[in-house]
Amino acid sequence: MKWQRKDILAIEDMSVEEIRHILHTAKVMKEILMRPIKKLPTLKGKSVVNLFYEASTRTRTSFEMAAKVLGADTTSIAVAQSSVSKGESLYDTAKTIQAMRADVVILRHPSSGSAKFLADILDPAVINAGDGQHAHPTQALLDIFTMQENLGKLEGKNVVIVGDVLHSRVARSNAWCLQKMGVNVTFAGPPTLVPVEMEGLGVKITHDLDSALPGADIVMALRLQLERQKSGLFPSLREYSHLYGLTTERLKKTGKQSIVLHPGPMNRGVEISDDVANSVDALIERQVTNGVAIRMALIYLLIGGSSNVVA
């Protein structure tokens, strides 16, 4: 297929063909990551700017490594959070980056839609590394890449995403990505965190995790932001954990050797028990490699040829 996209902002507007193409390219990139010399001349002279308005060592490092393996130069701009003039500084920073003639800008920002906002202003490609509660496309792509490695063909498989779906960009992007690839997705959690309007994403929703587990090939636990308790969204960690915490015992209900994923960092003993967390840890090395491979693929696809570079 001919790649025509300037930016990677959300999975929602991507075609199945594009997703397949990204996953295929990531597979090639992963092979390169396994080589003794992990350095390509591909993007020599190109520059990648990491613009992070939220702290995230893992995602930022992953993008940096991806850019470096491809031979690009990377610059990180860590922006201190100022609650009053966030928006102004994003617009102003965008203008500065434009002047720096960057080729790709990786943005992590606490406002939903900020990635599209930036992409609309900038000539360089923009990759959304998480915008508010809206989208986290690279996380969804790396999750599905890992799932594919483990399960092969994903069509018809069942995925249950458990937890604070309402506030989760990971849940939204995964729901779009998985459903486009023919996976059945169920959101599970308390009604305050999995409200009925989330059905608008096309997923099934349930408040009874145990009834959703039978047949689940993959169970993904979301990180529970502890401050949600103070907002009254759930009464206590104890009750949450009792109803929605993933334990070995509970996971038996899938009736399968299900894979457990978690976007991290995990609250052990809250959304996930210690022993289940260990099984997630076992996958982490692979998830990290897959994350770099996906991000290499995206950077390559966006600026690897001349056709996508805006003059």
Partner 1 sequence: MEGTIKSKILDADGIRRAVTRIAHEIVEKNKGTDKLVLVGIRRRGVPLAERIQKYIEEFEGVKVPLGILDITLYRDDLSTIDIHPVVHETDIPVSIEGKAVILIDDVLYTGRTARAALDATMDIGRPERIQLAVLVDRGHRELPIRADYVGKNLPTSRREVVAVRLKEVDGEEDILLLERDDINIK
Partner 2 sequence: MWWLKDVWVIDPSQKISASRDVLVKGGQVLEISSSLTEKEVLEKAQGESLETINGKGKFLFPGLIDVHTHLREPGQEDKEDILSGSRAAVRGGFTTIMAMANTQPPIDNRALIEFVCRQGERAGYAHVLPIGTVTKGMLGSELVEMADMKEGGAVAFSDDGKNIQNSEVMRLALEYAKLTGFPIISHCEDKDLAGEGLMRRGVASGRMGLRGIPASAESVIVARDLILAEETGGKLHLAHISTTESVELIRKAKARGVDVTAEVNPHHLIFCDEEIGITDTALKVNPPLGSRGDREALIEGLRDGTIDMIATDHAPHTQAEKARPFAEAPFGIASLETALSAVWQYLVLPGRLSLDRVIEAWSDTPAQRFGLPGGSLKPGTLADMVLFDPDFSEVIESAKLVSKARNTPFLEKTMQGFPVMVWVEGRLVQRDRTVI
Return residues touching partner 1 (CB under 8 A).
1-3, 21, 25, 27-29, 31-32, 35-37, 39-43, 45, 70, 300-301, 304-309
The answer to whether the annotation marks 139 as part of a ligand binding site is yes
- Among positive and negative, which fits the CA dihedral 102, 107, 109, 112? positive
Q: Is 101 annotated as a binding residue?
A: no
What CA–CA distance (Å, rounded) separates 110 from 134?
Answer: 9
Stretch that binds partner 2, among 22-30, 58-66, 191-199, 242-250 (CB under 8 A): 191-199
Q: Interface with partner 2 includes 112 (CB under 8 A)?
A: yes
The option from partner 2, partner 1, none interacting with 40 (CB < 5 to 8 A, set by class) reads partner 1
Contact call for residue 140 and partner 2 (CB under 8 A): no
SS (H, E, C) 16-82: HHHHHHHHHHHHHHHHHHCCCCCCCCCCCCCEEEEEECCCCHHHHHHHHHHHHHCCCEEEEEECCCC
Q: d(Cα 201, Cα 80) in Å, to the nearest integer?
A: 33
Contact (Cβ atoms closer than 8 angstroms) between residue 98 and residue 122: yes
| Interaction of residue 90 with partner 2, rule CB under 8 A | yes
DSSP code at position 71: T
130 touches 59 (CB < 8 A): yes
134 binds partner 2 (CB under 8 A): yes
Residue from 198, 209, 233, 261 touching partner 2 (CB under 8 A): that is: 198
To the question of whether residue 20 is assigned a binding role by annotation, the answer is no
Give residues 157-176 in contact with partner 2 (rule: CB under 8 A): 166-167, 169, 172
Task: Determine if residue 130 is labeled as part of a ligand binding site.
Answer: no
- DSSP code for 201: G
Distance CA 124, CA 47 (A): 10
| Annotated binding-site residue? 225 | no
Closest to partner 1 by CB, 8 or 90: 8
Is 148 annotated in a binding site? The answer is no
Minimal distance in Å, beta carbon 275 to partner 1? 37
Task: Please report, in range form, the residues annotated as the binding site for carbamoyl phosphate.
Answer: 58-59, 108, 136, 139, 264-265
